[in-house]
Every structure is written in C-alpha cells, then in structure tokens.
C-alpha cells in the first residue's frame, strides 16, 4: 500500500479504503503471505460504472501500463 500511495499521490489510508471497496466488489482478492498481503486482480470482471460495464478490469489495466 505504501508503494501505491507514493506512486499515486494519495495516502496509505485512502489506498486501504479503495482496496476494501474493490475486495467487497470481488475485483480484488487478498492473500496473506507472512506479515504481508498480496493482491490478485480479477481481470475478467466488468468495470463498476454503468457507462463502462461493457469493459473489463483487464482492458483498463492494459491502457494504464502501455
């Protein structure tokens, strides 16, 4: 979370809240690895906003990492 917060310019607390929301929606799955968490995205899930529901999380990620 610290790394995501630093790269996005938001607080760790905000990152944690977003992750909880995404977990609740089933878009992110959290796994405990020792003292750390790792996260897995469900790239096949549709985006949440009604206008964008025809797109998947994977399509959004592909646009971001280009």
pLDDT at 11 over 90: yes
Check: pTM over 0.85? Answer yes or no. no
Q: How many domains does the chain have?
A: 1
* pLDDT (0 to 100) of residue 24: 92
Q: Quote the mean pLDDT of the chain.
A: 91
Cα torsion angle, 47, 27, 20, 14, sign: negative
Residue 6 has pLDDT above 80, yes or no: yes
Longest C-alpha distance within the chain, in Å?
39
Residue 66 pLDDT exceeds 80: no
What's the whole-number mean pLDDT along residues 31-53? 91
State the residue range of the domain holding 46: 2-64
pLDDT band at 55 (very low <50, low <70, confident <90, very high): very high
């Amino acid at each position: 979370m610290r790394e995501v917060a630093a790269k996005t310019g938001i607080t760790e607390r905000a990152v944690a809240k977003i992750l909880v929301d995404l977990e609740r929606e089933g878009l992110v799955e959290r796994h405990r690895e020792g003292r750390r968490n790792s996260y897995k995205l469900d790239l096949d899930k549709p985006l949440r906003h009604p206008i964008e529901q025809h797109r998947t999380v994977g399509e959004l990620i592909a646009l971001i990492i280009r």
